[in-house]
Structure 1
Amino acid sequence: MIRIEADTLEEAYSKAAQSLECSVTELEIKVIQHPSKGLLGLFKKKAIITAVLKSENRPLEFAKKKIKENRFEQKSKEEMEKAAKDIEEKLKNLMKLSCFEIDSIKVSPEDEINSVLIEINGKDAALLIGKEGYRYKAFSYMIYNWINLKYQLNIRLEIAEFLKNQEEMIDRYLAPVKERVRQYGRGQTKPLDGVLIKIALENLREEFKDKYVSIKTNREGQKYIIINDFIRREK
């Protein structure tokens, strides 16, 4: 585990990823202190986080995979709509204070338990995505930490259809991979980077709920995903 201090959360996430030589999506991050500009330059606070690489090994009991993600009780429709409206209002206020030209921010409850979809569009939407999606990942983690802590909700962040396009591309690529797994009982992906490996991991775990699906690292430090049967130990 490492401890990082920086002027902004985005910078802290980036430093953590560089220090551990991985992408932000591969980190377990805990925000210790949110940054603050203080008053008239006084009492300024830096962003402080701790970060550790996510375990590359999945628990054998896959059925429990969402316990941590959805550890909160299912919220009512009224609670979800109220939270979505509040989040939308705060995000709009945030963007007004930024240098980005954003025309539309919409937050709506998703079918998935305790999750909201955040849709952002506008002239500068591409700037929020950044090269290879690195700024997208940092922004996603920043608002996830805020929303999960304050509202106990998960998020899906869609900026100018970036997430949709990435999901569609990965879904097409994974089609023959899935076919090989169905035929031979095991398989693996090519090396993937950035947000792609996270999308692919979620896609494959949803498809093969009874199999071991995990991220591995090759000798060149590239990340890929393996799919095979669980190996259960005798008690």
Structure 2
Amino acid sequence: MKKFEANSLEEAYELAKDEFNCSITNLEIEIDQQPRKGFLGFGRKNAIIKVVEKQDRKVYDNKQKEHRFRKKDIKIEDVSKKIEDSNKVATQKEPTLKKSHKKVPNIHSKEKIFDNFYEVGDKQQINEVIVKKDEQIILNEVKEGIDSLFSNTCYEIEDIKVEFYDNETLYVEFTGADSALLIGKEGYRYKALSYILFNWINERYGLMLRLEVAEFLKNQEESIHTYLEPAIATINEKGSFKTKPLDGILVHIALKRLRDEFPNKYVAVKTNVRGDRYVLVNEYRSKEQ
């Protein structure tokens, strides 16, 4: 039996037909792997088939008893499980802990996950669950997991930086010639990568995430801070303000900036009838607009 690999099943069949120099009807074909376009540029797979001429089938069946796994590109949807498995041994051998971190409860909605990157939720409603992990162990495990995720991709990425941004937040930074490709049109790949990393880091270590890719986050913050300067002056003068509709991470950056600037005011993300999201600043607990 021979194995053939190609971009599609049709191409793989042609390779097999040429190799055996016979009609495809005279071949026994077993599909070992279906082709896959991947998700957001990750996890692309070729078609793989196993082929034997029909007259040789019985001989092969007597010899072949087990299916061997062949390592291929990583699926985005399997990343969390792969990272968990790779760290099981390290988790069982952890030393006495130096520091502890508060764990935020699991969040099932994608939008709520993304909201929590910038602490949209009410901190007073967070249940405190202690995750006993030394900081260096956390950094080592997260670094190993992310390196494993990108080890088999075609992207040219420099050494991925993982460090603590503050006591409750991990800072992860991607740089390199192809790092900007991880942002995607209008930041859709950035947001997808953020979902994956945040969901894993938050669930396992109880930490928030600050993700920087090719200075995308820095540029977005600078842009929204420039927009908010006159807004802050208006709030100081009139006491309230409603931002323009903001997309993606801009709404979360604006929320954090305005909450830091006006801790004694009511600052929240709202949605209008068209589904656009904006930030409302008002007197605390006063009538919402």
User: TM-score normalized by structure 1?
Assistant: 0.67
Gaps of 5+ in 2: 1-36, 42-75, 80-106, 113-120
Contact 2:265 2:282 in 1 (8 A): yes
Aligned residue number for residue 238 of structure 2: 184
Cα distance in structure 1, aligned partners of 2:180 and 2:235: 36
Structure 1 residue 83: deviation in Å?
A: 0.7
Cα distance in structure 1, aligned partners of 2:264 and 2:39: 37
Identity %: 43
Aligned residue number for residue 93 of structure 2: none
Aligned residue number for residue 174 of structure 1: 228
Cα distance in structure 1, aligned partners of 2:110 and 2:182: 25
Which deviations, in whole Å up to 9, do the C-alpha atoms of 1:9-55 show, x marking residues without a partner? 979xxxxxxxxxxxxxxxxxxxxxx9449xxxxxxxxxxx953765x
RMSD: 3.1
Letter in 2 for 1:220: R
Q: Indicate how the Cα distance of structure 1 residues 66 and 154 shifts in structure 2: closer, same or farther if over 3 A, else same.
A: same
Moved more, 132-141 or 97-106: 97-106
Aligned residue number for residue 15 of structure 1: none
Contact 1:8 1:35 in 2 (8 A): no
- Greater CA radius of gyration, 1 or 2? 2
**Residue 109 of structure 2, aligned match among 45, 48, 51:** 51
Structure 1 residue 65: deviation in Å?
A: 2.9
2:212 aligns to what SS in structure 1?
strand
RCO higher in 1 or 2 (8 Å CA, sep ≥ 6)?
1
**Residue 204 of structure 2, aligned match among 145, 150, 159:** 150
Letter in 2 for 1:133: G
Aligned residue number for residue 98 of structure 1: 153
Aligned residue number for residue 258 of structure 2: 204
Kindly indicate whether residue 175 of structure 2 is the aligned counterpart of residue 118 of structure 1: no
Aligned residue number for residue 141 of structure 1: 195
Cα distance in structure 1, aligned partners of 2:40 and 2:200: 13
Structure 1 residue 227: deviation in Å?
A: 0.3
Structure 1 residue 135: deviation in Å?
A: 1.2
Q: Indicate how the Cα distance of structure 1 residues 8 and 202 shifts in structure 2: closer, same or farther if over 3 A, else same.
A: farther
Aligned residue number for residue 109 of structure 1: 164
**Residue 165 of structure 1, aligned match among 194, 198, 219:** 219
Which deviations, in whole Å up to 9, do the C-alpha atoms of 1:54-109 show, x marking residues without a partner? 5xxxxxxxxx9324568445978xx2222112211221121112232211201011
Q: Indicate how the Cα distance of structure 1 residues 75 and 187 shifts in structure 2: closer, same or farther if over 3 A, else same.
A: farther
Letter in 1 for 2:243: T
Q: Indicate how the Cα distance of structure 1 residues 97 and 153 shifts in structure 2: closer, same or farther if over 3 A, else same.
A: same
User: TM-score normalized by structure 2?
Assistant: 0.55
Structure 1 residue 213: deviation in Å?
A: 1.2
**Residue 86 of structure 1, aligned match among 133, 141, 147:** 141
Q: Indicate how the Cα distance of structure 1 residues 206 and 75 shifts in structure 2: closer, same or farther if over 3 A, else same.
A: farther
Gaps of 5+ in 1: 1-6, 12-33, 38-48, 55-63
Q: Indicate how the Cα distance of structure 1 residues 231 and 154 shifts in structure 2: closer, same or farther if over 3 A, else same.
A: closer
Letter in 2 for 1:162: F
Kindly indicate whether residue 123 of structure 2 is the aligned counterpart of residue 66 of structure 1: yes
- Superposed, which structure 2 residues align to 1:15-30 within 5 Å? none
